[in-house]
Structure 1
Amino acid sequence: MSKKGSFSSLKKKMIFSILPIVIIPILIIGMYINQRFKTTLKNQFLEASSKEILQVDNAINMYFESVSENANMLANNSIIKKADDSITSYVDKTNIKKMTPSQNGGMEQEIYEIFNGFAKSHPKSSYVYMATKYGGYIQWPESGTMDNYDPRKRPFYEAVLKNNGKTVRTSPYYYPADDAVIISTVTSITDTNGEFLGVQGLDVSLKSLTEITKNIKIGKNGYIILLDNNGTILAHPKNSEMNFKNISELNIEEFNNVLSKDNDNFEFVEKDVSYYGNLYTSPSSGWKFIAIIQKDELMTLANSINNIIMVLVLVSIILSSLFIMLFANKFTNPLLKISEQLKTISKGDFSIKLSSNLMNRNDEIGILANGINQMQDDLKNLVSQIKDSSDTLSHTFDNVVQMTEENKNTINEISRAINEVAMSADDEAKEIEDGANNVNDLAESINLVSDKIQDIKDLAIKSSKNNNVGLDTINTLIEKSQEVQSSVTHVNNMVVEMDRMAEEIGVITDTIANISEQTNLLALNAAIEAARAGEEGRGFAVVAEEVRKLAEQSNASTQTIKDIINKIQLQSKTALEGINKAREITDEQDTSVMMTQSSFQEISSSIEGLYEAVDNVQSYNEDMNIKKDKLLDMITNLSALSEETAASTEEVAASSEEQSASMETILNYVINLNSLVDELKNHAKKFKI
């Protein structure tokens, strides 16, 4: 994966890590607000419906209180209080199609007229009636009655007796004749003496109550169901067919428990439509009111708010994504530039630096950018020093090679001169041997001796010259050897300096490696802290992992540089060993040269002795015959000396050949070392400063 791809992945990780932190609280808050709003709407429904139910209950209570007051008013009427046994009784009568109190005259007719007048002024009254303790019964409106009808055995009469004559409201009951639900309000009638006389009753139909409940709206389409304390539906504005049927016939599970509860609110489903219900029990009548409203109607505003919240969430996602992308760009773009800079440095190009914008940042990126630039400057200076040292070392090795070649040529010339001296020494030995063999003819060849002496003198002069040339050559060889020794010492110092610089590079790379390890540890600590922070720190954990990877890449690059430096140090040690070997060979060469110089000095002394001998021969040429024995001894000594000179010359020649071979070896070492320097220069050329 490319760097750009990896940083793009980091940007995505930041977006997908931070975006939930923004979206989830918004969703939670939105859900909380929506739920709270739904709860508020539900509470408002409960509060509003409870108020409406309370108003209906108050209205019903007021209505029935007025009915009770009217019943008491009738019971306290002075005429009704005078009722006696003259009131018609139907206990022993059958087939009564219609009662006729309006036509019966007397007190019965008067009481009927009172009932009729009351009914006209109270049109909601269904029945106005009274029953006496004698079994008499008067009713408005006039209608038929049951056979052998005894009102004293009817529930309304017995209810008054059970309540000690107090006003009583009976339970609602269905009256088929009127096809209506009737509620009776009954009270006791006493005479002027306070004695129980009978029961005064006033019936009202619940049709009027249905109209009251129909006119009450809960919201737009909500309504109220009225139940008695037995669960009988007294009023169902939406389904009149259910009037005076038990609530259980609606087949709604939540309605099955309404009789056991006084107040409650619940949710139910009817015909795949959800509703809210609010149950209220009248403390005075015991009747139950159920306020009902469709859930969709109640939650219309909540659904609208929910849609608004979803739009806000969508807008928040878009805006948050844009903001996070801008933030991620500010974070990843500098890292991308730093990554590209490290890639450039890894290729050996130190000519490009990070921009000042990154350098001037007051955060970790700024610290990282400054550290990379400082590392780049240090590596750049180090490579420059290596290049300069390599150039100087290469130039020095060129001089050493040239001087070694010159030294080799000089040694070859000395070798040739020594060979000539050896040949001359051999000739001289042969001539001396011939002189020894012909010593007996010395007397006869005395004249020839002078010539031979002159030849010997010439040879001595020539030997002296050759000896001087040899000494000069040896001195030159000593000087060249000293120069070679100085150059080898200089090369040795350069190699040691180069090795020291390589060690400094090693120290710097170790420092870089330590920085990378510290960065890795810091990234690990940041990841641990991010993990402790939980969900909020996850994006920073991702960022810490990417920083750790960069540290590992820096550590790998540092290890590569360290391997190169180790290779340079190894080659430097090899060169140093070669130089030390060359120094040992040069020391051996110096020893051989000194021995050669000593030999030449001995040859010089011998030649001076030869001069002296020749002079003596010339001086005592006239006495040669007399002193021929001495001359023979001298010739014998000279022969031995010549043999020694020849041997010394051969040794010097051998030493010269060895020195020539040593110089060849030194030259090979220097050439190899120069190759190592060239290789070092080629490595250094890979870096662009």
Structure 2
Amino acid sequence: MSLVPKNEDQETNSKKKDKKQKGERKSKSVQPGGKSKGDTKAVWANFLDKLPKQLNPAKAVGVRLFLIFFVAIMFFVLTIGIMSSQMAKGTIQDNAEQANLQTIVQTSQKLDIVMQKYEENLQQMFLDDEMQNAIMDASLANISDYDKFTATNKMRTRLNTLTFSTKGVSAVYMLSADNIVDDVTSGSADVTFLDTVREEAWFKDLTSATKTLWMQVPSKGKGTEVFRLARSVQSVNSMKRFILIADINLEILDGYLKEVKLGNNSKLQMVTQDNVVVGSSFEGDQGNPTEFDLAKATEASGSFVTKDANGNSVLASYSTQYSGWKLIGTVDTAELTKSANRILMFTIFSLIVVAIIAVLIGVWMVRMIAYPLGKLRNLMEEGSKGNLNVRMNMKSKDEIGQLAVSFNEMMENITALVKQTNNSAQDVLETAAELTQASNKTALSAKEIAVATEEIANGATSLANEAERGNELTENISRQMERVVQSNKEMEMSARQVEKSSQQGTQYLNGLMEKTNMTVEMINALTAKVDSLKASTGSVLKVLDVMQNITQQTNILSLNATIEAARAGAAGRGFMVVADEIRQLADQSRQSITMVGEITDNIQKEMNETVKALSEASPIFQEQIASVQETNQIFVSVQQQMEGFVRHLDSVTASIDQLNESQTVLSEAMSNVSAVAQQSSATSEEVASLSSEQQTVGDQLVQLSNKLENVSAGLKESLSKFTV
């Protein structure tokens, strides 16, 4: 095959193209004094033409360099801006933390003074001489009711003086630890609290030692909300211990908290040791668990950052009071660091300016690197299509210029290699044609021998398969006969077992019938006894009615005795106590009689239900006796039928044994025929295998010849695409 010459039309077109490019370069070099609109468009088009057409960073090295440069600059500027903003926020937050903590500590000290003032007023009121004398008089054992009333009135007067003279105090309670003096209250006292206070654990602690306790009072939804001061004191004269309790309006504490401002959206709370809000600068927080996590508040005072109920970050400062409560002040960190956001805005503006500069520098870098590489890629694509005359003109001496020189040398070497390969392909094509003719003749002869041998082998194989199939069928029949014999034996054993089970079932049913009759008799006897018990219960109810009347008369007599004792005055007090005891015993007797009557009514009701259940069960047992008799007859019938079934099974077993002997003789004959057929098939297959191997060798030789011819033709066609 000769080398494909260059087409004359291609030469003419390339010359015209070169002249056109030279004309364009000359027109661009000549610029008049003023630029026209067309020249501006041409410059812009030339600028865009030098930019990379492929914007995928994985496929364009210029775009990848631009992105690396752009991202590095943006990251550097953004990092500096964010770090500056964070440092400014940290400084502002530290200053605010110190200022807020100082404010919280001062407010806490102020509240400590106010709370101590309430404690001192409560103690001064109790240690007053008039109060001590009244306590001494009221604790005397032989004091009259009038004197006791007078002493109690004096103590209440002192409590009222404290209630109305001290701002914020809504109620005062004075309770005796050992109940030697009646409880005294003043102001808006809580009656429910007074009834249950002695059962509280804190009250029992105060009765054993001198202590002061501040408590949060749950809101009841009505009236003025308060918090409570409880103090244990000891009388100077009688040395008896008393518990003084003062209810203080919560508005006093909330007022102090609302006066303190830590900043916009700031909040102050007074919380107990259990983190329950006592007072707050915001309405609605009182009595609820605090929304802030105080796990970090382990010191006497300090600050920490936590989250509020909305999930916003807040700066919390706290101080622990002498009462054990904590004063907490919070302010949103976003409000504190709002001024630092200006630095972030300046950073964003700088980032935009730097981005524009980075884009301009990146475009210049793309033109310096990506444009020559793109031109070299286009020339290589044209060369891959078959044009080996392409060359790259590059004047620079850098790495890209050296790459252009290497590209030109590579194209020269490829052109020489294509010419040499074209000559060799022609020689290989001629040799392949001669080898194909010889291989076809050899393959045809081998094919005819293989066809004849295959027909013989197929006949022998068919005979062997039929013999083998007959042998398998005979063996299958033999196995089926064995299964039938085995199944027949199992059926005989099962039939005898069923016959035996029927006999046992008949015996069990007879015993069940006897027990059922005994059960019916027992139910009838039980019904008679329950009726007798029901009559006895009615008699008990009559006796209870008589006792109930006696109890009512006793209660009336005790009431009359109480009235007579009251008329007798002091001489009838002892008789009055006896009358009260008789009335209490009458009440207890009446309650006991009522309870016994209810129990008797329940017993009578349950006996009625028992009689009803026994009456319903009797017909059921009669039906059960009838069902047992019918079942007994069925078992007798089954036993008779199973005896006839066993006789038939014995006859079938004898017939199956004779059929099994005949099947054994047939199986031996089929095995002999199968062995002869397999031997004949094996001999035929050996001959067919040799013929197939010869045919396979001939076919492979033909395939190799055709493959060589196809390769030569393909190489010839591929070389024809190159232009040298």
Pick the TM interval, shorter chain.
Answer: 0.3 to 0.5
Task: Give TM-score scaled by structure 2 length.
Answer: 0.38
Higher relative contact order (CA 8 A, sep 6+): 2
Task: Give TM-score scaled by structure 1 length.
Answer: 0.40
